[in-house]
Structure 1
């Protein structure tokens, strides 16, 4: 991939608390935004097992019960919107960033509210020599976008050579916003499609359409986690 020099850090550094969280994906999604949140927090989450995470508008019938049971994959619903996401703790970086409404990065504009976070991911990728770009459009409408998260683009997400690398979903409450971010080692649409209730014909069509929609960082997940945490706290030496 082309090498890009890291961009200059914004004048305003981000003040955060970093919390390393382990446990079940269901419990993590049920974790609320604290009403008394004093400053932004990064929740660096390492799940205890694989799961198919459905968006808030999807119900459990979206998942193929037999396929998920056979694969030993839990089915969980998150509170943010979008399509289904396959989570394998050995193959992804998962970070949630929680921002209270009084934080200077807060914006009432849903699209602009996430740009700063996407830029932090871009700077992290640049330290790994990966050139990327920020998607600044609205929520993309694609044939499979309501079904699979990585089938469509949303504001603030990060692309490499036009392919989605970092997915970001957002949930808002009276206390603040919770941004859920995920990046993979590699992208295979059948990781998620094989766990969904679909006809064989639709699964084949979706797989062909989504094959080149996204990408990953290969074996550099640990480096990426360290780099993005460093960007978010203003210290690249953090781990």
Structure 2
């Protein structure tokens, strides 16, 4: 899993996913064999579903391995297409249809991780699934599954705030202009996102209760957001 690029900063925005009637082969092939459709979707990706999956994860604010979700989305697409007996959705609704399958695949991955955590597993066998948390947030690999479940289980507005401030690198003023305020709410959501990404369990006693306020990551200090220039608020 690679770290999400800073949207609108160092890389151009990904083009919108626009499947057309060229995708009709999916329904034709799936009608004969969902397994063959799955293999072709995953191995050839002529529809650019992998890029569409990565883009969808960014717009729904989930920190998941795009490759992992893509593979599951291919399965969802092949099965759903087979159940439609060759009847492809109208072209004007095709993008929405694919996005729904990607969202279902995202839900499948989230459910699998949550179940693995409940069963006492510390991480999936492939640690690359949690690269962002291990490499960018310095989470120890043994805690990476817990951190992934904790962050991706946050409310939408917390994840959106985290993406805006720490992945897209927007200023506080830009985040407020995007509707992520008021400022107190922005700070609270940013704090929750950072704590989750760092593996801090809000239900457990922590360094927050220690008198020494130098303990803990910089973003958790009471004055972490102080001293922001007025024109950045």
Range of TM-score over shorter length: under 0.3
Q: Higher helix fraction: Structure 1 or Structure 2?
A: 2
The alignment's TM-score, normalised by the length of structure 2, stands at 0.27
Which structure: larger Rg?
2
Q: Higher strand fraction: Structure 1 or Structure 2?
A: 1
| Structure with bigger RCO (C-alpha 8 Å, 6+ apart) | 1
